[in-house]
A and B are shown apart, each in its own frame.
Chain A
């Protein structure tokens, strides 16, 4: 692999593009309008094609105006069909954007002799060739200027209307009551989306731009609860997607004997992989975190059950003697019991020689609390929801683990449980 100035510029253009998309993307994701971004980025194509046909050139201003007009028209039509035609929003989006995209394809095919627009660009963008198009002899690629300008524009708008966007994103009725007009914010957002999508068109194409809009903000949403951080993390993820994307586009295929692949596609995949990482590993929302939490809860419940069991043996002045007894009574295997006993010994709930299974005074106290909760619940359930004694026992076995002292007091001070045993 040889990294050149061209590669650096590709990453810079990609990062600028991904960042400018991520800004409106945060609002799209929070307002559950991600697919509006999808619809509008598809309709950029007819906007560009019309601008080509009218002006006969690749004038960026004309392309920008054409796409914004078509983008706003899309947003308006989707709303109108949804309201007047009594159709759900997904279907109305599907109708509008596919028809517009089809129209764009037909126009492109018709205009192919007059203008140089490449169907491949619609799919892959032209980020690889960004370096070769340097207007005004500045030494800066056109893509960097366009995407950088877009990023600056979006950033300024987001700073100006930060509060308004934040309130409408989370609670549009509250926004209304505070004098913010949600529909104005909506169309401002749609304008930003359309303009950003057309700026990104030459970089990543008209379909992959959806990945840039949605994936980094959605990833950030799994990592934070604050809007300010959400924006910041989205921007960082956007940069990371561009960097990792281009790097893997020029390295990974080489390992298998191919020369490379499309950077725009690889950027989307990189963003997807970052999402996957957050999905698995997010400390609050991730799958791993929830699995760990589930296991911890299960282990805690087992330890409490063991303490309760030992206490009940002591009550009858007996001792379980063997691990097998405990394992069969609690319906878990012996190894798990040994693990839990080790932990209990470490916590000082049972004596250090854990195989003896002897409660310490601390352990006796916590076990007493558990058994007390259990029997109080049995009394309560028997009184208010009389049913089979076995069922009451099972319900109480589950409730005992979540009963606080306050709740024990609220359950009343009975001294004998329905089985005729003392409440400790």
Chain B
């Protein structure tokens, strides 16, 4: 375990190394969160994966060229330019395969990703034998080697992050249009192709600067995971971008901190694991389409539907008897519900003051209960008439269809149905129920 003093040193960024790594990966996390949001909306998540794998041959080729001309191969800018070029070639190859063969996106991505990566590995092995160069730095690009970052690298990351954020702020509307309705924006005269190239170009740049810290196998995680997490917190694109950037930067900071404190924790994978945790949390607890929120909403809806079914059953039972009372056995028999379910429903109905108990297993509808029950039964029967007359459904089958729809008919719809039925003088299979 790290001591308090050590913790303090890491948190206050006292060491040069920690400072460089933390600042660099936070900038990277924010930039990739921002651009990843658009990438995800454009459904290009895995194209970015192919792009990052395709950077390897470019990196090694750039290194080999430099060494062949007598350089040391340590120029990070040259290596990143090589990575950028071959990443872009990879994306173009995917597009070419998709447009000129019958193979789909998935196969095109798989082919480009694996073949170019294989080519990169071949070149890497050859490069180890080149005299005068040191390939040790190259292997860091595969799985990431944040510990070897220097101030210059962090600067590059910060500059790129600022550039990406600035461009996205300037062209937010255009990129949003591109992601949501390509055809519409073409018809409005937007330069779709240029925007698309700009977007993928930014993805390529962010991927390339991610190589050093998280490595090319995991670079795509930085782009996708924060953006995917942000979708569970907002449906507005501006908020999504902001949240994604925040999650990206926080994962970067936490990852770098953990790997500085705990021995044998590689920075890149730890950052990915932490953003993975943020995804799980967002997926479970997110306010928009989060798992728990969805389940809650669904169970509330189910409860409301069950209560409406119960009330309609009450209404149908008491339709013929004068005193509005009903017995437990009649309910069970009426809808073939299970007895415990009926007990729960009755209990809840009493809570809502829809009915009250008058003897053991005998209840009576209250004013409020019969008013609500009448309304629901009325909706049900109105819809039945509509289905029989306009959807040509046999009278023996309408009951079940009406069952599904009666819960969602609004007042406007009921008024329309009433007007229609009055006008056409349509007949119901049952009396419709008095209008209160």
Contact = CB atoms under 8 A, between A and B. Distances in A.
B119 A268 contact: yes
Contacts of A271: 115
A94 B115 contact: no
B78 interface: no
Interface string B85-116: 00000000000010011111011011101111
A170 B45 CA distance: 26
A32 to B, nearest CB: 5
B114 A210 contact: yes
Contacts of A249: 122
Nearest to A84: B291
B276 interface: yes
Interface stretch (B153-161, B192-200, B265-273, B362-370): B265-273
A259 B276 contact: no
A221 B143 CA distance: 33
A262 B49 CA distance: 23
Given A88-B45, A221-B102, A269 B122 contact: yes
A38 B113 contact: yes
B118 A264 contact: yes
A93 interface: yes
Contacts of A42: 217
Nearest to A221: B103
Given A34-B109, A35-B46, A264-B121, A106 B225 contact: no
B84 interface: no
B107 A269 contact: no
B107 A105 contact: no
Contacts of B104: 32
Interface string A7-41: 00000000000000000000001001111011000
Contact of A253 (B102, B126, B143): B126
B119 A109 contact: no
Contact of B283 (A85, A105, A109, A110): A85
A262 B125 contact: yes
Interface string A234-256: 00000000000000010001001
Interface string B240-280: 00000000000000000000000011101110110010010
Contacts of A287: 100
Nearest to A104: B269
Interface in B210-254: 217-218, 220-221, 224-225, 228, 231-232
A94 B107 contact: no
Interface stretch (A95-103, A185-193, A316-324): A95-103
A155 interface: no
B45 A258 contact: no
Contact of B122 (A88, A99, A101, A262): A262
Contacts of A91: 40, 43, 45, 224, 228
A85 B228 CA distance: 10
B117 interface: yes
Contact of B118 (A32, A260, A272): A272
B135 interface: no
Interface in A348-364: none
B118 A265 contact: yes
Contact of A106 (B100, B118, B119, B269): B269
Contacts of B123: 261
A95 B122 contact: no
Contact of A94 (B49, B100, B111): B49
Interface residues of B, number: 58
Contacts of B125: 124, 260-262, 265
Contacts, number: 194
B115 A81 contact: no
A222 B103 contact: yes
Interface stretch (A212-220, A389-397, A407-415): A212-220
B176 interface: no
A75 to B, nearest CB: 15
A225 to B, nearest CB: 10
A99 B115 contact: no
Given A101-B218, A253-B126, A208 B291 contact: no
B122 A98 contact: no
Contacts of A290: 100
B217 A214 contact: no
B100 A279 contact: yes
B225 A261 contact: no
B289 A35 contact: no
B181 interface: no
Contacts of A93: 45-46
B143 A105 contact: yes
A165 interface: no
Given A99-B221, A211-B115, A287-B100, A266 B107 contact: no
B264 A98 contact: no
A98 B224 contact: yes
B217 A101 contact: yes
Interface residues on A, range: 35 or more
Contacts of A210: 110, 113-114
Contacts of A260: 125
Contacts of A152: none
B117 A268 contact: yes
B301 to A, nearest CB: 17
Contacts of B415: none
Nearest to A214: B110
Residue among B104, B115, B273 facing the most chain A CB atoms (10 A cut-off): B115
Contact of B43 (A88, A109, A208, A267): A88
B122 A84 contact: no
A87 interface: yes
Contacts of A261: 122-123, 125-126
A279 B98 CA distance: 11
B157 to A, nearest CB: 20
A115 interface: no
A38 B110 contact: yes
A105 B118 CA distance: 20
A86 interface: yes
Contact of B117 (A103, A208, A256): A208
Interface string B113-152: 1111111111101100100000000000011000000000
A207 interface: yes
B107 A29 contact: yes
Contacts of A272: 111, 114-116, 118-119
B294 interface: yes
Contacts of A109: 264-266, 269
Contacts of A215: 110-111, 114-115
A392 to B, nearest CB: 28
Given A99-B225, A102-B218, A110-B264, 6 more contacts: A91-B45, A99-B273, A102-B276, A124-B121, A256-B126, A258-B126
24 contacts: A32-B106, A38-B49, A81-B283, A85-B232, A90-B44, A91-B228, A94-B225, A98-B217, A98-B220, A98-B221, A98-B224, A99-B221, A103-B269, A210-B113, A215-B110, A221-B107, A258-B126, A265-B119, A265-B120, A268-B119, A269-B115, A269-B119, A279-B101, A290-B100
Interface of A: 29, 32-35, 37-38, 42, 81, 84-88, 90-95, 98-99, 101-103, 105-106, 109-110, 112, 119, 123-124, 207-208, 210-211, 213-215, 218, 221-222, 249, 253, 256, 258-262, 264-269, 271-272, 275, 279, 285, 287, 290
Closest 6 pairs (CB-CB, A-B):
A268-B118, A272-B115, A211-B114, A98-B221, A99-B276, A265-B121
